[in-house]
Amino acid sequence: MAFPYMESVVGFMILMYIFETYLDIRQHRSLKLPNLPKPLEGVISQEKFEKSRAYSLDKSHFHFIHEAVTILMDTAILFFGILPWFWKRSAEFLIYTNLNPENEILHTLAFLSGVMIWSQITDLPFSLYSTFVIESRHGFNKQTIWLFFKDMFKGICLSIILGPPIVATIIVIVQKGGPYLAIYLWGFMFVLSLVMMTLYPVLIAPLFNKFTPLPDGELRQRIETLASSLKFPLKKLFVVDGSMRSSHSNAYMYGFFNNKRIVLYDTLIQQCKNEEEVVAVIAHELGHWKLNHTMYSFIAVQVLTFLQFGGYTLVRNSKDLFESFGFDTQPVLIGLIIFQHTVIPFQHLVSFGLNLVSRSFEFQADAFAKKLGLAKPLRAGLVKLQEENLSAMNTDPWYSAYHYSHPPLVERLAALDESNKKEE
């Protein structure tokens, strides 16, 4: 008797949904607490706390509904054989349009087109509600309905342009890869990631946002001086019009080797009280670079990608695996989809481990900024960003440990204060 792969996957998905819902309930209870955590009393205003609490509870209620609908749809798709049914309908569509259904690349692209349409339709109500009800209710949404659909259209166009050559290449590699298939697949994805990391900020990101050089002035001078003192090869310093869509704020850097760029959200500059707070936030980001966190993360992703492809090569010809999910053929893309479902338990463990490492990196980057003499403005900047973004003030420790890649504000401030005490 063949192993019940599909039933096992569905069973684990339901178990994980129950476990994560339990964590969500714990977090929801924490969000309902009427008082600030003691370390934040006198640091965060009561007005901001009440707004944060209302915003977080709204998002929490929405999350419960979204996750319930998602698990129902995902379970139904697997349990009732929707994937093999849709694969067969894709072949019929190709016959109807006088295209060859025996061509696996064409068949796969037809299948993915239908999946993309289905995803857009099912995700649209949730995206609209999140953006134009929750985000608008709490003063974050700045985009019009026209801009929303314009962005969605651009995203679909990018998928149509970039998707087919990537999918076709993967199929050809699997068909002709032989014993070194995992290496070839990893090599292709490695090159693709480098290409996308290079092209995205130059060609794709500007399709959605306007990037302008940070004007000359004290802020620009201080950031350039800081970068120079750390030997960070800063080539360009941009401000992005994040306020066009949202009042949430952020900052990031990108680029290879000696061609680094820093991007500040205009909302970040507006929200921080002075240039020193912005510089402290940038110092934190530069800390990630100086401490090689970005490189370590990139290497970890590459290792995990290679291991995943290695695992895929072991099961890609398993007839029992495909039949368990309702397929009487073994298409490349379907094999990858099924494999991703079968390794979900490992993915959860890996995600948890990466979050632990990420939180450690955040503490280290904070400590790095502190060593530069920016502890006070960093503290003020973190508090300001927490207030302006209405981030959750009360967090459940189990929920935080499982989900958060960044430590809660209370923990980050405590770490900064602890390092101050040690120096006194």
Binding annotation: 284, 288, 362
Is 104 among the residues known to form the active site? no
Q: Do 232 and 224 contact (CB within 8 A), yes or no? A: no
Active-site entry in 24, 277, 285, 387: 285
Active-site entry in 104, 266, 277, 366: 366
Is 323 among the residues known to form the active site? no
Helices (H), 32-103: 46-79, 82-96
Q: Do 249 and 259 contact (CB within 8 A), yes or no? A: no
Q: Do 100 and 94 contact (CB within 8 A), yes or no? A: yes
Query: Which residue positions form the known binding site for Zn(2+)?
Result: 284, 288, 362
User: Rounded to an integer, what distance in angstroms lies between the CA atom of residue 225 and that of residue 324?
Assistant: 61
Nearest to residue 116, comparing CAs of 158, 62, 149?
Answer: 158
User: Rounded to an integer, what distance in angstroms lies between the CA atom of residue 138 and that of residue 20?
Assistant: 26
- Distances from the Cα of 323 to the Cα of 33, 165, 332, angstroms: 50, 28, 14
Place of tokens 């990466």: 354
- Distances from the Cα of 230 to the Cα of 65, 181, 234, 289, 369, angstroms: 47, 42, 10, 10, 11
Element (H, E) at 240: strand 234-240
What residues does 213 pair with on adjacent strands?
238
What backbone torsions phi and psi does residue 318 show, to the nearest 5 degrees? -80, 105
Q: Do 143 and 246 contact (CB within 8 A), yes or no? A: yes
**Structure token digits, residue 345:** 């338990």
Q: Do 367 and 284 contact (CB within 8 A), yes or no? A: no
Nearest to residue 186, comparing CAs of 199, 173, 172, 200?
Answer: 173
Q: Do 341 and 322 contact (CB within 8 A), yes or no? A: no
Hey, how many other C-beta atoms are within 10 angstroms of the C-beta on 331?
18
- Catalytic site positions: 285, 366
